Structure 1
């Protein structure tokens, strides 16, 4: 995957990477955000409804191998799983279509994103770096949140800690355009929900957990049997905004189940693979296209730039 040639986009991507490093520090070989994680392997099996939605390869064959990565937020490789800043959790899924052929879903455990554009996100990070979250009065962050309602809503959204990576809901941030074999297209956003149902910890239960409870628990859970997730797509109606990750669609919009993820084992060599794998928020295959959301090209550039740096480290 080549880097984009848009100089402005590349400069913004680098500025965002620099700002993450300014906030968290720089840890060679680790991601600037969602640094702490673990990987598993498994299989994806599509539903019949998936074929009606899209002609994409993995939605039209019997099954597809997957690699997945669960992660904590921040660029801190040793952040405790119990730290409130480790939310939202990340869940990236790679559908392995063949040698050097794949498509990915990148999701996290809060429905939405704080800003519409990368420039706004950089402004948000700079305000965060210049403020004390425990004393917001008169701070740059207070000013930013006061003038950006979507960011305020994202920050104020409850983010309870899950009992397990396998008991959390995950959301695709940006809309995709799904096109079926008949040429019919619909925009939609991914949702990934646990077969076992979501389960979150209250403050007292969280205090009893250790710093790596999520990493240890998912390894034990998958050793006891497959960990299942349903992959869903919430479909936009005509007139819904599909290029702004801060705008939620009405809850009554149709949701289609497109398949099941069955995670069956920890990935052997997970630590090394996490340093080399570069997930791509842009699907890059027939049957699923990116929307015009400005975050997509930016995120793809950031992931590629930071991924190349990880590999070099």
Structure 2
């Protein structure tokens, strides 16, 4: 995957990575966001109805091997699982189509995103970095982040959205941030957003139960869950109707929109030599595969550039 040639896009990507470093400290051998993570392997099996939506390779074959990375928010590699800043949690899926051929889904456990553009997101991160939220008695008000949220209602709604602690990575729902365009073999195209739902059901902790949990409870629980059997998810797509906004990640579509199941994922083991693979794999939010195309959402190219730039930095840090 080559870097884009758009100089403004590259500059914004660099600025965002630098801002993450400002917020969380410099950890070059880890991702600047969602640094703490774990990787599992398994299989994707398509639904018979999926071919009506897309002729993507992993929908047209009987099954496809997958690698899945679960993660916690922030760029802190050792953030406790009980820290509220670890929410929303992340889930990235790689479908291994052939040697050196794949397509990915990148999702998180909050249905939405705080800003429509990368420039607004950079403003948001800068406002967070210059606001001492740990000092609520500070008479200096409004703080920069309060000013930003006051003028960006979508960001305020995202910040105020409930982000409960999951009982398990395997009992959380995950949402694609941006819309994609799905094209079937007849050329019919529909926009949709991914929804990934655990087969065991969604389950969140009650506030009273959180103090009893250890700093790595989500990661430790996966070991126990895998020992009991495969961890299953249903991969679905919420379909837009004509007139729905498809290029703005801050806008939700009504819940009455059709949700079509693409297939199921069964996770059966941790990735072998996981530490090495964590450094090597670079997920791509742009599908780059027949049957699924990116929407016009401005976040897509930016996110792809950030993931690639930070991935190259991560690999270089390991080699040094």
- TM-score of the superposed pair, with normalisation by structure 2: 0.97
The 2-side partners of 1:209 and 1:132 are apart by 28
The 1-side partners of 2:209 and 2:104 are apart by 34
Counterpart in the other structure of 1:229: 233
2:262 to 241, 258, 274: 258
Counterpart in the other structure of 2:250: 246
The 2-side partners of 1:244 and 1:78 are apart by 32
Counterpart in the other structure of 1:129: 129
Counterpart in the other structure of 2:199: 195
Partner SS for 2:92: strand
Counterpart in the other structure of 2:81: 81
Q: Deviations over 1:112-143 (max 9, x none)?
A: 00000000000000000011234394100000
Answering whether residue 189 of structure 2 is matched by residue 204 of structure 1, we say: no
Deviation at 1:294? Answer: 0.3
Q: Deviations over 1:148-202 (max 9, x none)?
A: 0000000000001001000000000000000000110000000000000000001
> Over the residues paired in the alignment, what is the CA RMSD in angstroms?
0.8
Is contact 1:38-1:271 (8 Å) kept?
no
- TM-score of the superposed pair, with normalisation by structure 1: 0.99
Answering whether residue 57 of structure 2 is matched by residue 69 of structure 1, we say: no
Task: Give the gaps of 5 or more residues in structure 1.
Answer: none
Answering whether residue 144 of structure 2 is matched by residue 160 of structure 1, we say: no
Q: Deviations over 1:202-253 (max 9, x none)?
A: 1221110000010110122112100000001000000100000000011101
Is contact 1:166-1:218 (8 Å) kept?
yes
Q: Deviations over 1:85-120 (max 9, x none)?
A: 000000000000011100000000000000000000
Partner SS for 1:234: strand
Q: Deviations over 1:1-32 (max 9, x none)?
A: 00000000000000000000000001121000
Equivalences, count:
313
Deviation at 1:272? Answer: 1.5
